Amino acid sequence: MNDELNVIDNLEELERFLLSVENGGLGLEGVAGVGMATNNADGRHFVAVFDNNNKLLHARWITDEVFENGKEMVRNGVKAKH
C-alpha cells in the first residue's frame, strides 16, 4: 500500500479520497477506475485506483466498516451535494 499508516476509517474520508481521484488531486495519470478489494495475504480491505490495463496506480487501506458501507459510493461515484 502507498501509506501503511493512513487508513480510511470513515465514509467522509472515503468520499474525500474518491473526489481527489476524480479531480486529479493525487497526480495520477491514466486513471480508469476505482474498486474495493481484500488482500489475500492478511484479509485487510483496501480501495484501489486502476489504469486501463488494471494496473494498480494507488491504494489505501480501509476499515471493515468502510468496506461494508462504502461499496455503493465506490461503485456509483460520489454524488454532488446541493
> What is d(CA 17, CA 12) in angstroms, rounded to the nearest whole number?
9
For the stretch 54-78, pLDDT in tens is 999 999 999 999 999 999 999 999 8
- Predicted confidence at residue 1, as pLDDT, reads 57
Which cell goes with 31? 486513471
Which cell goes with 18? 474518491
N- to C-terminal Cα separation, the chain: 34
> What is d(CA 50, CA 43) in angstroms, rounded to the nearest whole number?
20
- Predicted confidence at residue 82, as pLDDT, reads 52
For the stretch 1-39, pLDDT in tens is 555 678 999 999 999 999 999 999 899 999 999 999 999
pTM over 0.85: yes
For the stretch 40-49, pLDDT in tens is 999 999 999 9
Residue ranges of alpha helices (H) inside the chain are 11-22, 64-69, 71-76
